[in-house]
Amino acid sequence: MKKVIIVGSVALDSISSPFGKVERTVGGSAIYASLSASLFSPAGIVGVVGKDFPKGFLSNLKRRKIDTSGIKFEKGKTFFWRGKYSWDLNTAHTLATQLNVFANFKGEIPSNFLKEEFLFLANIDPVLQLQVLKRMKKSGGAKFVAGDTMNFWIERKKEELKRVISFLDVFLLNEAELRQFTGQHNILKGIKKIFAMSKNLKGIVVKRGEYGTCFFMKNRMFFLPAFPLEDAVDPTGAGDSFAGTFMGWLASRKKINWQELKKAIVYGTIVASFTVAGFGTKGLLSLKKSEISKRYRKFAKMVHFEKTQI
Amino acid sequence: MKKVIIVGSVALDSISSPFGKVERTVGGSAIYASLSASLFSPAGIVGVVGKDFPKGFLSNLKRRKIDTSGIKFEKGKTFFWRGKYSWDLNTAHTLATQLNVFANFKGEIPSNFLKEEFLFLANIDPVLQLQVLKRMKKSGGAKFVAGDTMNFWIERKKEELKRVISFLDVFLLNEAELRQFTGQHNILKGIKKIFAMSKNLKGIVVKRGEYGTCFFMKNRMFFLPAFPLEDAVDPTGAGDSFAGTFMGWLASRKKINWQELKKAIVYGTIVASFTVAGFGTKGLLSLKKSEISKRYRKFAKMVHFEKTQI
């Protein structure tokens, strides 16, 4: 069984929305992505935490067969984030960020991870993304790499990010970041621009929050709405759940083709919808495969239509 | 062949966007909706124009077999609108509105229209919508009625609008209007609230601009993205094109069921995409059925995915 290696942040999050709040819950891109990937494939997580990290949480990862040997325990405090959402759950308002031990995160990959084929580079400094990527490629791993980013890096390290993208198979970003990165308001024009600058890139995922996701290859595209929820309460980690699921599904397949890529997008959307329905990782931790399958079938009914002719 | 009766504005529009501009082009909700409906069914238009209306344009309607006997010519000037779009084509910025002869529009229905089954009440005063609707129902017509509205009426005539909705089969509004009308940020909650207040209402269309459309019945829903365009230049009339197509398709069917309603949404989306690709009615006037069919097939490929199981 192929293992998905996930490199990113492990955090303690204090989150509030009009629907409730939670204090210092375990979060971070690598946590959401690995919990999600592990629904479909084994996963290995690479991150750093401090002395205040609740070690009991590791049992949640191990129960999902997530290899935690890449989590380093350092002196100091775990990366802390405090954020707030208003009724419009699309935008997070950051109230506090304390990088703590994450400031010195080097993304050291355990030797037993180095040859793994599937790598997800969650949103971290592109310089670090490139180091991890090169290290694994040199060891014969990282044959299929997906990478995420954020507005912070597009503003500050655009050239480094471009270099990372040139090594990626799939690049994930949200719609506002696409516009920021390409200077194009029109999505199709922006996508063309990214493909033109990154010859090896095969696919681009554009995340549009409650409006869903589009997936582009050079000559095809797939559009999917978000799964509609009456009980959305906390979108934290939705994008990382999406990406982890996307990679987990693909790692579980014998072949990666257009049909499997589309399914990866659908599963990513569905797992993300369960993430959003609970604070922190709550929705993810209690998620059963039967619930995913049920929602997959429901989703197909919601978006498919019959052929016809005029 | 069933005729779709369309009651709404006929206007002269001056429109500009980053992609060009046009001066005093024939527009208005009834024009866009009837040109679109007539791609699938005969249509009859009810509106009012002034002495400055370019009579030559009527030949465009007649060529499409649109019955123009409901267009009244009055002394005075035609309704004029000047609007501007920025790069974000989602929002129209109104620079000038001159109601002119439209201020006294009474929505008088020619007697040969009164018994027609399909009625589309475009965005006009709900008091007028109700009069038209009752008049036709009294004559044995208006068995299937769709109605549109706008923020202006939600603000000023909410109770009258509620009364109109109680007589509609399908209510169309955009996402911001749904929130404004129901006080609910969550779409699903808003939809429930409208259904709860309007016992006869069968369907609700929520228009989300470039993010597409959702269609709700009491126990089902259908989500569709917009057809992605690189060459979107002017969204004026997109919603009316959608609604006209929706009604035209349904009027052309023997039976209205869930599958046909979904197809009506798909065709509506597609015709609207051609409208947006030209200034004013340009995209609509040159549109061929073969182009619609081609885009329909392309669209299905873009949103469908295979069954699977985990």
Helix axes B126-138, B158-165, angle to 10 degrees: 30
If you average pLDDT over every residue of chain A, what do you get? 96
Model confidence pLDDT, tens digit, residues A6-40: 999 999 999 999 999 999 999 999 999 999 999 99
CB nearest A211 (choices: B208, B267, B302) = B208
- Is the torsion defined by CA of A296, A298, A301, A303 positive or negative? negative
The model's pTM is 0.95
Helix axes A158-165, A187-197, angle to 10 degrees: 80
Q: Which residues pair with residue A213 across a beta bridge?
A: A207, A224
Residue carrying the six token digits 């873009």: B302
Closest C-alpha among A171, A256, A169, A174 to residue A213: A174
Model confidence pLDDT, tens digit, residues B11-50: 999 999 999 999 999 999 999 999 999 999 999 999 999 9
Question: Does B262 contact A at CB distance below 8 Å?
Answer: yes
CATH of span B4-303: 3.40.1190.20
Instruction: For chain A, give the number of residues.
Output: 310
How close does chain B come to A294, measured CA to CA in Å? 10
- What CA–CA distance (Å, rounded) separates B174 from B241? 14
Contacts of B198 (CB under 8 A, 6+ apart): B162, B165, B166, B168, B171
- What CA–CA distance (Å, rounded) separates A211 from A216? 16
| Kind plus residue range of the DSSP H or E element containing B77 | none
| Kind plus residue range of the DSSP H or E element containing B107 | none
Closest C-alpha among A209, A283, A288 to residue A25: A283
Model confidence pLDDT, tens digit, residues A269-283: 999 999 999 999 999
Question: Does B229 contact A at CB distance below 8 Å?
Answer: yes
What is the number of CB-based contacts under 8 A between chain A and chain B? 103
* Contact between residue B197 and residue B167 where contact means Cβ atoms under 8 Å apart: no
Contacts of B73 (CB under 8 A, 6+ apart): B48, B49, B50, B51, B53
Sheet with B79-84, side-by-side order of all strands: B20-27, B11-17, B79-84, B93-98
CB nearest A305 (choices: B214, B263, B292) = B263
How close does chain A come to B227, measured CA to CA in Å? 9
Domain definitions of chain B by residue range: 4-303
Do the chains contact at B232 and A189, CB–CB below 8 Å?
Answer: no
Do the chains contact at A223 and B303, CB–CB below 8 Å?
Answer: yes
If you average pLDDT over every residue of chain B, what do you get? 96
Model confidence pLDDT, tens digit, residues B181-230: 999 999 999 999 999 999 899 999 999 999 999 999 999 999 999 999 99
Q: Provide the 8-state DSSP code for B278.
A: S
- What CA–CA distance (Å, rounded) separates A120 from A242? 11
Which of the residues B224, B305, B306, B307 would you substitute to probe the A interface, choosing the one with the greatest number of A C-beta atoms within 10 Å? B305
Question: Does A306 contact B at CB distance below 8 Å?
Answer: yes
- What CA–CA distance (Å, rounded) separates B110 from B71? 9
As a whole number, mean pLDDT of residues A42-54 equals: 98
Closest C-alpha among B109, B114, B121 to residue B8: B121
* Contact between residue B189 and residue A230 where contact means Cβ atoms under 8 Å apart: yes
Q: How confident is the model at residue B309 (pLDDT cuts 50, 70, 90)?
A: confident
Do the chains contact at B305 and A266, CB–CB below 8 Å?
Answer: yes
- What CA–CA distance (Å, rounded) separates B211 from A218? 22
CB nearest A310 (choices: B186, B289, B310) = B289
ipTM of the complex: 0.93
CB nearest B223 (choices: A222, A225, A266) = A225
- Residues of B in Cβ contact (< 8 Å) with A211: 208, 211-212
* Contact between residue B44 and residue B6 where contact means Cβ atoms under 8 Å apart: yes
- pLDDT of amino acid B87: 87
Do the chains contact at A211 and B214, CB–CB below 8 Å?
Answer: no
CB nearest B230 (choices: A87, A188, A267) = A188
- Residues of A in Cβ contact (< 8 Å) with B310: 39-40, 267, 289, 292-293
Q: State yes or no: pLDDT of A79 exceeds 90.
A: yes
List the structure tokens of B191: 């939809």
